[in-house]
Amino acid sequence: MATTLTLLLHLLLLPLATASTSIHELLKSKGLPPGLFPKSVVKSYDLDDHGLLQVYLERPCLTKFETRVFYDKVVRANLSYGGLIGVEGLSQEELFLWLPVKDIIVYDPNSGLILFDIGVAHKQMSLSLFEDPPLCHRQRKWMDGSSGIGLGFEAQR
């Protein structure tokens, strides 16, 4: 009887434990660095039975790793161990152009590298850039004259 009760409690509490896992903990459990998504603006996420991950942010925002990165209000991808495949809602600035990130893959964690597929090229970066979730700022933060983002960015999106 005690074993049945213990099993029943585990089954009832499992969804609560899963729901309280942060996106950063989820990424880490899937062999990805926790800093792929910004801190403080992620409201929630959904992960369905087929691996479709949808991350909901409070607002679109910008951050910087090696280059600037733009997050839409919703970022979608197929989550598998070591990869976010078919990414939507994430763009990276390369040579003054904003290019959509297609895939993010960690083939070998021991290599210390993460691969960003931006369609026209594959860019490898150090995993250490993504250890901590970055701060993500409103676009206005970088809309001064020196940044070159402003309206040109909106026009390119």
Alpha-carbon gap, residue 144 to 150, rounded angstroms: 7
Overall average pLDDT of the 71-88 stretch: 98
pLDDT at 14 over 60: no
Domains and CATH numbers, the chain: 2-156 (2.30.240)
pTM of the model: 0.76
Average of per-residue pLDDT values in the chain: 82
Average pLDDT over residues 101-106: 98
